[in-house]
Structure 1
Amino acid sequence: MAVHGAGLIEHRDFTDAQLNTFRRHQATSFAVLAEVAAQLTPGVTERDATRWAMKAFRREGADRYFHLPVALFGERTTLPGEWTLESFFPTDHVLAAGDAVVLDASPIFDGFVVDTSMSFSVGPSAEHDMAMVDDLVYRDTILAAVRAGATFSEIAATVDDDMTGRGDRNCHQLHPEAVLGHRAVRITDTSVAPPADPSGFDALVIGWFIEGITAAMTRGEPSPTWNARSTSDHRPAPGLWAVEPHLGRGDVGVKWEELLVIDENDAYWLDDDVPHLH
């Protein structure tokens, strides 16, 4: 068992029972996003969607987050313009018929951090459907590359080359740390962990990531983030990884996010019963 963060963060060597718990919580997170999606009709705002998500997550037992729920409507699904971290926060942008939607949430259930995303359009959209088909190809190619032993940076660069070569925009380059993916971790004892801040952000988990990124930059240790940078120039590291390729095409952005299990001998998706495969 690998534990860090003053002994409070476990990031690899999860037991089968723990993986089953991650799987159950991932399914709950997807169910909450689907519940919110079912309420989205023209006229609601991003703030409405995130408020409904947080209420549902509290009902399901999550009161802290690696990051707060995100709702992006229309052109904002492509992370346009001078996009910053603050741009992910919900706005009063009003949903319109035909809009693309991205919902993303990283709730923490009993110390288990999961991260999920789903994309859809409000009403039929052939453009959205085709973009999602292309984005889902990466579910197969990323897994195959991990199994083949490609480095994390090689995999991220290949995804970028494929997107941009087709004329699409690599939107995950605008995610924090330009991540194609990042570790999913477990707080080993939430009773002694610092409380989440009033907004719900979990300082312990975020602090652990910052320490890990710093160690990767200064000491060459494997980074908890997965991108095309030199800190990811290593073979896939064992553990749980939230993978989130985010593609932009015109004013339509699509992404999916789910957990990938990597161990010393193999890699596999934690669950094949996920919304983007239906």
Structure 2
Amino acid sequence: MPIGFFEKPTSLIDRLYRWVAIRLSKFSHGADAVPPKEALQGYRDAQRLANDTVLHVGKLLKVGMTEKEAAGLLEGYLEEHGSERYLHRPFAWFGNHARFDEYTSYDDYHPGERKLEYGATAILDVAPIVNGYIGDVGYTLSIGPNRELDIAREFLLQLRSEIPRLFMSEMTPAEIWLEVDRRIAAAGYDNIHSKYPFCTLGHRVFRVKPKKGKERRLGSKYFGWFSVDANLAFLKFGPSVTINAENVGKKLGVWAIEPHIGWSGGGAKFEEILVVEPDRCYWIDNDVPHLKPDDQLSHPVAG
């Protein structure tokens, strides 16, 4: 599968994939069930652990630290606080890697030896499992001032306020994807989540069977992004699990929404859980880092 979104199929196989994905996306396999209150609290707890993790590690970032070192700190904090399992492994992307420049295949998206520079953007992304519930958070920051990031955050917050209304409209997930893509382009940014596998603007979160011990991964390539349980769940739910330009299925349920934008030399995103019910749509928690004023956050300093 080529990286990026292409309006027209790039090959016969791509054409066949889109035809199948559109049709299978109508079948949610139970993922569109509205969760009970106790489940919502479970997702909220998992998201709060994820937020605590990225805030803690964000304060530890220093100039010269590599993406691998930052990802190791994320993993260590989660283990110390009771979560050895995850939907996907911790990610850290610095500088132009925050907009996936220099990547030629999905295998390149793992944290690498890229070093953090003063004033560069840094994205931290974790998805812990707590008591079987999945949280998934993306957080963007910089060491030192970054005016482009400040402006990008303002746009992302505006987009955050509009997304629930899009989900409550008659639009399909595919139409929502295309509308968000249009708004990103109109604001002068590149759509970076179009470079995710399946061009994912968001994906369902769900509960898995609680287990103890470290999570298992399938090697170090693309499938190694995700835990074994996550890969099995994705296969079960099929194309209904992601919000992209092929999903014409149901919107009800619990989603991790992750708009990711880019500009020359940097990128930014947020990610948090959105709950879609028949008569309302809302972010599961408003106590999230990207809603806090800068004076409430402890920013890292140059090392």
Identify which range, 77-86 or 252-261, moves more after superposition: 77-86
Give the corresponding residue for 2:18: none
1:203 lines up with 2:228 in the alignment: yes
Structure 2 residue matching 1:260: 3-state secondary structure: strand
Give the corresponding residue for 2:257: 243
Please state which structure has a larger fraction of its residues in strand: 1
Structure 1 residue matching 2:127: 3-state secondary structure: strand
**CA-atom RMSD in angstroms:** 2.1
Q: Which of 217, 228, 232 is matched with 2:245 structurally?
A: 228
| CA deviation string 1:235-268 (max 9, x = no partner) | 52x2110000000011120000000001122111
In structure 2, relative to structure 1, the CA distance for the partners of 1:115 and 1:93 (3 Å cut) is: same
Question: Structure 2: how far apart are the matches of 1:140 and 1:264?
Answer: 19
Q: Is the 8 A contact 1:149 1:235 kept in 2?
A: no
Question: Structure 2: how far apart are the matches of 1:242 and 1:83?
Answer: 26
| More RCO (CA 8 Å, sep 6+) | 2
TM-superposed deviation, 1:165: 2.8
In structure 2, relative to structure 1, the CA distance for the partners of 1:25 and 1:173 (3 Å cut) is: same
TM-score (norm 2): 0.80
Identify which range, 159-168 or 37-46, moves more after superposition: 159-168
Question: Structure 1: how far apart are the matches of 2:254 and 2:102?
Answer: 32
Give the aligned length: 258
Give the corresponding residue for 2:280: 266
The residue type paired with residue 119 of structure 2 is G
Unaligned runs of at least 5 residues, structure 2? 1-29, 293-303
1:26 lines up with 2:24 in the alignment: no
Question: Structure 1: how far apart are the matches of 2:80 and 2:69?
Answer: 17
Structure 1 residue matching 2:88: 3-state secondary structure: strand
Q: Is the 8 A contact 1:74 1:251 kept in 2?
A: yes
Identify which range, 82-91 or 165-174, moves more after superposition: 82-91
Identify which range, 126-135 or 160-169, moves more after superposition: 160-169
Structure 2 residue matching 1:12: 3-state secondary structure: coil
Give the corresponding residue for 1:166: 187
Give the corresponding residue for 1:3: none
Unaligned runs of at least 5 residues, structure 1? 1-8, 217-222
TM-superposed deviation, 1:38: 0.3
Q: Which of 80, 83, 102 is matched with 2:123 structurally?
A: 102
Structure 2 residue matching 1:67: 3-state secondary structure: coil
TM-score (norm 1): 0.87
1:252 lines up with 2:266 in the alignment: yes
